[in-house]
Amino acid sequence: MNDLRQDRGAGDLLKRLEQLNQIGVALSQEKDITKLLETILIAAKDITRADGGTLYRMTEEKSLKFEIMHNDTLGIAMGGTSGVEIPFYPVYLYDQDGKPIYTMVAAYAVHHDQSVNIADAYTEEGFDFTGTKNFDKKTGYRSTSFLTVPMKNHENEIIGVLQLINSKDPAAGKVVPFSDTDQHLAESLASQAAIALTNRMLINQLEELFESFINLINTAIDDKSPYTGGHCQRVPVLTMMLAEAAIKADHGPLKDFALDEKQLYELKLAGLLHDCGKVTTPVHVVDKSTKLQTIYDRINLIDARFEILKRDAEIELLKAKLAARGDASALERAFEERLAQLADDREFLRNCNVGGEFMTPQQQERVRKITQYPWRDEQGQSVNFLTGDEVYNLLISRGTLTHNDREIINNHVAMTHKMLSALPWPKHLKNVAEYAASHHERLDGKGYHRGLTGDQLSMQARIIAIADVFEALTAKDRPYKPGKTLTESLQILGRMAQESHIDPHLFDVFMREKVYLKYARQFLDPAQIDEVDVIRIPGYVPPPAH
């Protein structure tokens, strides 16, 4: 008979050791801190056959905070994922004079760095179980056996406490003291749990640190230019909105598209870092709100030259009057005509400098004629009224950027790729550089900086590309345009889909799932959020009405 009990005991122990091993694997795989804590407590209850338990976490104030409470008999589940707040004060480790408190079992276990195994709380001496007895009176419960185990991390620091209540004999179905085996198993589990918890907290902290560093870079980029402030924050938000919508697609070319948690995080980082190369882009190019702007707007220099031409015209008039010694009305009329012409040409150049609309060949020719005005430089040499660089900038046919300016700005994606490719990314983040640096590529191969074609572009890169374009169209903080309405932006985006600039299937999801509206409600001015008639959006065919 004794041999049979030993066999059963050995078999039970082996089963519980296997359970402990499985728990260790589960703990190492859980990423959510709250779920991890709950898994620890439930596992401790199961492996010791406890009816209830509490998991405490050490606070910076050196107290033990109630994190999770479970009790099977009473049907209690507080803290953790339950959403039910635990209404108890923390267990203090020191009194008001700073002296250690030993009367509370959990505090005693921390101070002595050892497990405390109590057979019956009602007969145990040396500990204060007043709170436990009051709880029992209110609930009709009988708290008997207690097993309290400190949780220590890899640096031998106590980071929490496991407290288990009322071990149950599976054969007799009654409450019994926790056995030595229970205690050893609980201590092994507490050790594994503490390491798993510490590792997960360290990983989370490193991820938070890395994301904070990314946000710091993005803040610097956005602060570098008041005209792109917030772009680096808004694009990743829209990126994730579109990615989530694409994942939910249940029909069409994207119905099999899926991203797991790691891939979504990789895409999020790529969205956050998509413009990191702009740290190398000169401010005067990023902020070029007029054609003649460098560190300052050179239109003011041209204004000053016109004033000098007006002064010279007045001097010539006075000299002519002195020489004529008679009727000067013709001279006066010529003078007024000259001033009118100068004023008109001056205003024309100021309008050209804005760069908002398309500049016609006739307007470009007029700029060239103005440059022939007689002018002398500071050395008294006869030179053109406008410098070669001023003419080059003023002749920009659309916008404010020259070809050289555009090359400088476009280079930011090459720098993004260079910077991100130099980082030692872990395996699950190895594609961040490719996704981030491909947001200006096009399906037809006419994008930059590598001229990739559709079959060379990942879906993640295509998602960021749409997010980048839509944010730019609707942004109200750009130097060269006001933020467009939803309808205006979607019409442009639709034409880009038709022209193989962006992915048409992603654009279909963007429209069908109203991703644009979700984003607009969060970031756009109410005046930009107009009623979108989807029938009039090019490149989009609405689903048939049911």
Lowest mean pLDDT among 22-36, 250-264, 268-282: 22-36
**2 located within any domain:** no
Residues 193 and 107 occupy one common structural domain:
yes
The CATH number of the domain holding residue 163 is 3.30.450.40
56 and 81: one domain?
A: yes
| pLDDT for res 465 | 95
* Residue that is last in its domain, among 400, 419, 438: 400
Q: Within a domain: residue 262?
A: yes
Mean pLDDT rounded to a whole number for the chain: 87
Give pLDDT, residue 381: 87
Collapse the DSSP code of 5 into the 3-class scheme (helix H, G, I; strand E, B; otherwise coil) and give the result: helix
Whether residue 219 is contained in a domain is answered as no
Cα 227 to chain centroid, rounded? 20
Q: Please, are residues 28 and 196 in contact by the beta-carbon 8 Å criterion? A: yes
- Average pLDDT score over residue span 172-183: 90
Q: Is 9 among the domain residues?
A: no
Using alpha carbons, select from 491, 416, 480 the residue that is nearest to residue 448. 416
Output the DSSP codes for 27-75. Answer: HHH---HHHHHHHHHHHHHHHHTEEEEEEEEE-TTSEEEEEEEEETTTT
DSSP E strands, 457-525: none
Quick one: average pLDDT of 435-449?
91
Domain span at residue 231 reads 225-282+411-536
pLDDT of res. 24: 64
pLDDT at 292: 86
Burial group, residue 488, by CB count within 10 angstroms (0-12, 13-18, 19+): middle
Residue type, 253: P
Please tell me whether residues 24 and 159 are part of one structural domain. Answer: yes
- Same domain for 531 and 424, yes or no, is yes
pLDDT for 430: 94
The reply to whether 183 falls in a domain is yes
What pLDDT sits at residue 163? 95
> Residue 461: enclosing H or E segment and its boundaries?
helix 459-474
**For residue 497, what is the domain's CATH number?**
1.10.3210.10
Same domain, yes or no: 236 and 377: no
**Do residues 252 and 373 both lie within one domain?**
no
Same domain? For 253 and 164 the reply is: no
The per-residue pLDDT for range 462-474, each reduced to its tens digit, is 999 999 999 999 9
> What pLDDT does 42 receive?
86
Tell which of 142, 169, 202 closes a domain.
202
pLDDT in tens, 105-144: 999 999 999 999 999 999 999 899 999 999 999 999 999 9
Assess if residue 11 is contained within a domain: no
CA atoms within 13 A on the CB side of 100: 9
Q: Are residues 388 and 415 in the same domain?
A: no
- Same domain membership, residue 326 and residue 367: yes
User: Cα–Cα distance between 324 and 306 in angstroms, integer?
Assistant: 27
Mean pLDDT value across residues 62-68: 92
| 27 and 129 both lie in a single domain | yes
Whether 276 and 318 map to the same domain: the answer is no
Please check whether residue 216 lies inside any domain of the structure.
Answer: no
| The predicted structure's pLDDT at residue 3 | 40
Asked if 69 and 189 sit in the same domain, the reply is: yes
DSSP code at position 372 = T
Comparing 541 with 264, the larger pLDDT belongs to 264
When mean pLDDT is compared across 319-328, 492-501, 526-535, the lowest value belongs to: 319-328
Number of domains composing the chain:
3
Residue 287 is assigned to a structural domain of this protein: no
Q: Which of 16-25, 245-254, 398-407, 447-456 has the lowest mean pLDDT?
A: 16-25
Task: Encode 164-207 in three state secondary structure.
Answer: EEEEECCCCCCEECCCHHHHHHHHHHHHHHHHHHHHHHHHHHHH
